[in-house]
Amino acid sequence: MTSLSRAALASLPASVIRPGHDIASVRTGVVHFGPGAFHRAHQADVFDRVLDSDPRWGIAAVSLRSAGTVDALKAQDGLYTLAVIDREPSTRIIAAHSDAVGPGEGAKLRTLLADPSVKIATSTVTEKGYCLGADGSLDFNHPDIVHDRARPDEPASVIGWIASGLADRRAAGAPPFAMLCCDNMTGNGGKLRAACLALAGEWDKGLADWIAGEVAFPDSMVDSITPASDPAFLAKIAEELGVTDAAAVQRERFTQWVLQRFDLADGPDLGAAGVTLTNDVQGYEQAKLRILNGAHSSLAYIGLALGHETVFEAVSDPALGAFVGRLMHEDIAGSLKPVEGLDVQGYAGAVQDRFRNPAIRHLLSQIAWDGSQKLPYRLLDTVRDRLAAGESVERLAVPVAAWIAFLHRKATLGEKITDPLAEVLARAAASADPASAVLALRQVFPAQLAEDPRFRDAVTDVVPAFLEGRATALLAR
C-alpha cells in the first residue's frame, strides 16, 4: 500500500475532506516546536483553516529530540489525516505544514527563525520541555540550560532556540516573531517570557531588554481530547483511505484555543478560524478547572463507587448524570465571576455533551489519580467561594466524600494509591474515622475550610453512605 501524498489526494474516497487551499502556494509563516499529536490535531487544524484564505501561514514543524514525526511529514508532503471521533465522525486531510525540521538540522532551524516572513512561533513540548523549576522559573541547573548558557550559537533547549532566534532578529534589525506557548500551564505566556528573559540576560542584557520591550508572549489555554494514534487506529485510517498514513491523529469534535490578545502587524485571522481572543485567559482557565475538571473528578470518584469504568458509562447513569449536571450548572457555574466572551452555562452544557461521546474511552481510574493535587483547584476553590457567599455546599461535599471513601477502599484492600501523598493518604484513610483523618490533612484541606462546620459536617455526614454502598441515595440532591 502506498503512503499518503499530494499525488494520492485524487484517489482518496469522496467522503474524505480535502484541503481547501492550493498546497503549492503555501508559504512558511509559523515555526512550531513539538509537532506531536496534540499540535497536529489542534493548532495545525486552525492554521489549515487560515490557509484557505491566506497562504502566508504554513507551519514549519520542529522536533529537537525525535525524528519520527518530522520524517513522516516529509515523506507525506506534509500531509496527514485528522479523524474526528464523535457521534458524527469525519475524516479530513490537513495540509498546514510547509516544512519540517528534525534533530541535527540546526542550521535550517536558525534560518527559519531569522526569516522575517516567519511572524509567529508556537510550542507544545509539555511543561517539562521548558526546563522550568518547581517554582515555574528557569532551572539554570538543567543540563540543557547549562549547555545553552555556554553555547548560545548551538542551543539544545526550546528556550535556547527561542532566545537565539530572537537574538538573530535583533542583530538584523528585523521585527521579532510573537511566541505562543500552547501547553496547558497556568500563565504559560508569562512563564515562557520570564524563562527567555532569564537565559537571554545571561548572554546579553541588551538582548533581554529588547525581548522585554518588543516580543509578545500571550497567555493561552487549549483543550481537546486527543487519544493516542495506536496501531489499531492507523490500520483503520489505512483501510478508510486506501493509503497508509504514519502521522494520522484523532480527536473529539470539541476544540478550544483561548488566546490573549496581542499585537502583530498583518497577522493571521485566528478568530475567524475558531480561536477565542480575550483579555481574560485566566477566567477561561478557572472555568475549565472548576466545570470540566471538577465534574471529571466528581464522575470519577462517584462513578467508581457505583461500579462504572468510563466517563461515558458514568454520565449515562441517569441519577449520576443528572447529579453532576446540577453540580455543574447550579453550584460550580454559579460560583464563577463573569468572563469576557464566555457563556458559562453554555460552556457547562458543552462539557456535558463531551462527556456523552461514546467514541472516547476515558477511564475513571486514570482521572482518579493524584486527587490530593487536583481537588483543591477542581472542587475546594468552589467550596470556599460558595461558603464565603453563604451558599450551600451539600452537593459539593458528595464528590469530596467519594474521594475519601475511594482512598479508604484502596487502603483497606492494600491497593496502590496513585498520588504524591499516597502513604499519608493511606494511613489517614485506613483509620477508624477516615473522614476526620483525611480532612485533617493540611496538605489538602486548609484549616479554615476543614474546620468550617458547614463543610466538615456535610462531608462527614455522607462518607458512611459510600462506605456502606448507599451512594445512590445521595444523588437526589
pLDDT tens, position by position, 135-186: 999 999 999 999 999 999 999 999 999 999 999 999 999 999 999 999 999 9
At 415, the pLDDT band (50, 70, 90 cuts) reads: very high
Q: Provide the residue range defining the domain that includes 162.
A: 9-279
Tell me the pLDDT band of 39, cut-offs 50, 70 and 90.
very high
Q: Domain boundary at 254, 279, 304, which?
A: 279
**How far is 272 from 216, CA to CA, in rounded Å?**
21
Asked if residue 1 is part of any domain, the answer here is: no
Residues 265 and 362 both lie in one domain: no
- Ranges 92-96, 332-336, 403-407: which has the least confidence: 332-336
127 lies in the same domain as 91: yes
pLDDT-derived band at 453 (thresholds 50, 70, 90) equals very high
Q: What is the CATH number of the domain that holds 415?
A: 1.10.1040.10
Establish if 293 belongs to a structural domain.
Answer: yes
The answer to whether residue 3 is domain-embedded is no
The last residue of a domain, from among 212, 247, 279 = 279
Which residue in this structure is represented by grid cell 486531510? Answer: 93
pLDDT at 72: 98
Q: What is the mean pLDDT of residues 336-357?
A: 95
| Domain co-membership, 236 together with 368 | no
Assign 443 a pLDDT band (cuts: 50, 70, 90).
very high
Number of folded domains that form the chain: 2
If asked whether residues 248 and 318 sit together in one domain, one would say: no
- The string of pLDDT tens digits covering residues 214-264 is 999 999 999 999 999 999 999 999 999 999 999 999 999 999 999 999 999
Rg of the chain over Cα atoms, rounded to whole angstroms, equals 24
CA atoms of 38 and 35, how far apart (whole Å)? 8
248 and 364 both lie in a single domain: no
pLDDT for position 377: 95
- Look at 5 and 340; give whichever has higher pLDDT: 5
**240 and 315 inside one domain:** no
What pLDDT is recorded for position 204?
97
Provide the CA 247 distance to its chain's centre, in angstroms.
Answer: 20
DSSP state for residue 132 in the 8-state scheme: B
* Final residue before a domain boundary, out of 233, 249, 279: 279
pLDDT exceeding 70 applies to what percent of the chain?
A: 100
CATH of the domain at 243: 3.40.50.720
Residue with cell 500551564: 185
Shared domain check, 466 and 325: yes
pLDDT bracket for residue 47 (50, 70, 90): very high
Q: Please compute, for residue 362, the number of CA atoms within 13 A of its CA located in the half-sphere on the CB side.
A: 24
What value does the mean pLDDT take over residues 193-201? 98
Structural domain includes residue 209: yes
Is residue 143 a part of any domain in this protein? yes
Same domain as 127, residue 249: yes
Nearest to 79 by CA among 29, 12, 6: 6
User: Are 209 and 339 contained in the same domain?
Assistant: no
Q: Is residue 4 part of a domain?
A: no
Q: Are residues 259 and 366 in the same domain?
A: no
The DSSP-derived string for 150-162 is: H-TTS--SHHHHH
Confidence of residue 275 (pLDDT cuts 50, 70, 90): very high
Based on the fold, state whether residues 202 and 349 are members of the same structural domain.
Answer: no
Q: Are 11 and 44 in contact (CB under 8 A)?
A: no
d(CA 251, CA 272): 21
Residue 384 belongs to a domain: yes
Residue 23 domain-assigned (yes or no) = yes
Strand spans (E) along 63-113: 80-84, 90-94, 97-101
Q: Chain-wide mean pLDDT for the chain?
A: 97
Is the separation of the CB atoms in 160 and 199 below 8 Å? yes
CA gap 25, 185 in Å, rounded: 35
| 450 within 8 A of 456, measured Cβ to Cβ | yes
Residues 273, 297 within the same domain: no
- The confidence band for 298, taking pLDDT boundaries of 50, 70 and 90, is very high
